[in-house]
Structure 1
Amino acid sequence: MDRKRFIKNSGIGLGIALLPGVLLSQPNLFSTPHVSLNDPKVVKDDDGDVLNVIGDIQTHKLLGKDTNNQIVEWVDNVAPGVGIPPHIHTKEDEMFRVVKGEVEITVNSKTTILKAGDIAFAPKGIAHAWKVVGTEKAKMITSAFPAGIEFMFQELAQLPAGPPNFEKVAEICGRQGVTFV
């Protein structure tokens, strides 16, 4: 048998011998792709858990437990002057969509005023901040992916009323991989 023919025949035989093991070792090869482990969910405007996260009134609409930890989404309903100082996430990206009012957002040192219908994206590892500007309350839908940050917000909402203890806030945020700059 010549060399070329040997390699060709050996390769086919080896492929046939290994194919069942390769196919069976692929966990989702024969399942429907992108199947969620969660049930569908409809969330009405008035639905959700309301948290006061140091003055940021958040209504949590979808949590990680609802989305197979893919995304968490909440609605911010905040007064003028309220905002979040510059910070960096190491675990999740965030998207901000203004529904009502005006929000000044800074992402990667670029500041923009978002109005109803405008969206900003803040990838993890990039400093960002936001603040409600103008004279009316703002309503903003914020999404973070993957999920997990909702636990940080739940803990922050348990802090006592009044001016926040920045060291305690930084400690809670730091456990989620969020640092202030």
Structure 2
Amino acid sequence: MKIPITTVNETEGHKLKIAGGNYRIIISGKQTDGEYAVIEMSVPPGAGPNPHEHPDFAETFFVLEGEVSFKSELGSYVAKKNSFVNIPKGGIVHGFKNLSDKPAKLLCTVTPAGLDDLFEEMANYLENSSLNSETEKKENIDNIFKKYGQKLYSENYLD
């Protein structure tokens, strides 16, 4: 049996709000039998994830709009429009920040899938956590990251 081609237009996909940005899961691991997921990320000016590692996932980024500084334990790179960044499996600590004065747009692919589930759980938690203290939020976010094989570091870990 042949598997049909999947098509997703600009209005489709699962839209999430995370850390002030807008994420759209274009194709999830549920649709690819866990092989990969593709996520469009709109990252606000000055924003981006703290340094983190995920040894069981490869992650790639294609910069659609803006200018983003990627940092790792091995150095840094400023990725501009049409740049490509590959974070291989193995757990190198990395993070990125939008250097632009407007939202940066990235196309992120993760192999195997799984980070898409993390983003869905994180967005759901953040949407419903307004009554939690900052300490509770941090602890719960750390627990969500651990559940998906992630480890978070402090914002200035790579400085």
Report the TM-score range of the alignment, normalised by the length of the smaller protein.
0.7 to 0.9
CA positional deviation for 1:107: 2.8
Structure 1: how far apart are the matches of 2:31 and 2:72? 29
Partner of 2:11: helix, strand, or coil? coil
Aligned partners of 1:108 and 1:123: how far apart in 2? 13
User: Cα deviations across residues 86-111 of structure 1 (Å, max 9, x unaligned)?
Assistant: 00002211001100011111133311
With a CA cutoff of 8 Å and minimum separation of 6, indicate the structure with the bigger relative contact order: 2
Alignment of 1:82-121 (within 5 A): 82-121=47-86
SS at match of 1:65: coil
Question: Offset at 1:128?
Answer: 0.7
Shift of 1:160: 3.6
- What is the identity, as a one-letter code, of the residue corresponding to 2:53? I
Q: Show the counterpart of 1:174.
A: 146
2:15 alignment partner, SS class: strand
Aligned partner of residue 141 in structure 2, secondary structure: helix
Gaps of 5+ in 2: 154-159
1:63-142 equivalence runs, <5 A? 63-124=28-89, 125-142=91-108
In structure 2, C-alpha distance between the alignment counterparts of 1:123 and 1:67, rounded to whole Å: 20
The equivalent of 1:19 in structure 2 is none
Deviations 1:97-131 (A, max 9, x none): 10001111113331111111101111231111011
DSSP 3-state at the match of 2:78: strand
**Which residue identity does 1:166 align to in structure 2?**
K
Which segment drifts farther, 102-111 or 83-92? 102-111
Structure 2 letter corresponding to 1:174: K
Matched-pair contact (CA < 8 Å) for 2:68–2:98: yes
Contact 2:40 2:105 in 1 (8 A): yes
Matches within 5 A, 1:4-15: none
Q: Secondary structure at the match of 1:98?
A: strand
Residue 44 of structure 1 deviates from its aligned partner by 1.5
Contact 2:39 2:116 survives alignment (8 Å): no
Give the CA RMSD over aligned residues.
1.9
Deviation at 1:41, TM superposition (A): 0.4
Q: Normalized per residue, which structure has more helix?
A: 1
> Unpaired runs of 5+ in structure 1?
1-34
